[in-house]
Copies of this chain bind each other. A is one copy, B any other.
Amino acid sequence: HVHESVDEGVDARDDWARRRRKGIPTDKQLLVVACMDERIPVEDALGLSLGDAQIYRNAGGKVTDDVIRSAALTTQYFDTTEIIVVNHTDCGMMSASDEDVIEGFEAAVDGDLDDVDLDPALPELNIGDASLAEWVRMTDDIDAACAAQVEYLENHDLIPDDVSVTGYVYEVESGHLRRPGERVAEQVNERV
C-alpha cells in the first residue's frame, strides 16, 4: 500500500524534527570547532552534509570556556565521539598587536574595562588576575595555535578520554586543508 511509504516519510520527519529529545546523535557523531571567518566553507572542506556534525565557531577557533561547555554537553549527552578543530591562514586574530586591541576596547567603553561584564548572562564570570589580552587570545603562528587547541581538548577533564581530536589549518589562499606545520606552499618554490 502507498500509505506505508508515506508513513516512512512521516516517521523520518519526526526523527529529524525531534532528534534531540529522542536521543538521536548527529549522523557522524562529530563536533567541529572552527573559526567564524566568512571565508571558511566548513562543511565543504570536511565533506559534511546537513545533519552530519555540530559546528562550533568563534573568533579564532580557540578553545574557550564556551567550547568546553559545548563540547562537554555533546560528548556526554549526544553521543559525539570525535572533535575536529579548524583554524585558518590570514585569521583576524593575527591582524593586530595585543596592545592595539586592548586600546580599542578601552576607547569603546570609554572608561575602565574592569567594570564591563564579560558575560552579560552570567555577570559573576571573571578572569581573576589574568590580563584582558589573555582573554582576547590573539595569535602569533596559526600552525602552533591549531596544535595547542587540539591539546587543550585532549587533556580536559570534561571531554571523555576516548574522544578523537584532530586539527587542521584551512588555507584561504588555496582552498585546501593542511595538517598543522605542513606548509606545502613553502616547500615547492626552490630546488630540492
Binding site for B on A (CB under 8 A): 1-3, 5-7, 9-10, 13-14, 16-21, 26-28, 30-31, 36-39, 41, 46-48, 50-59, 62-70, 72-74, 76-78, 81-82, 84, 89-92, 94-97, 101, 104-105, 108-109, 116-122, 124-130, 134-143, 148, 152-153, 155-158, 160, 164, 166, 168, 171-179, 182-192
Contact = CB atoms under 8 A, between A and B. Distances in A.
B55 A36 contact: yes
A14 to B, nearest CB: 6
Contact of A26 (B38, B46, B81, B174): B38
A72 B105 contact: yes
The complex is assembled from copies of this chain, and their number is: 8
A190 B141 contact: yes
A184 B76 contact: no
B66 A58 contact: yes
A94 B77 CA distance: 12
A58 to B, nearest CB: 5
Contacts of A138: 191
Contact of A124 (B46, B84, B108, B130): B130
Contact of A128 (B73, B124, B141): B124
Contact of A56 (B52, B57, B76, B77): B57
Given A72-B105, A77-B104, A127-B124, A21 B192 contact: yes
Q: Which of A58, A119, A127 has the most C-beta atoms of chain B within 10 angstroms of its own C-beta?
A: A119
B191 A140 contact: yes
A50 B45 CA distance: 12
B121 A152 contact: yes
A38 B27 contact: yes
A19 B30 CA distance: 30
Nearest to A11: B179
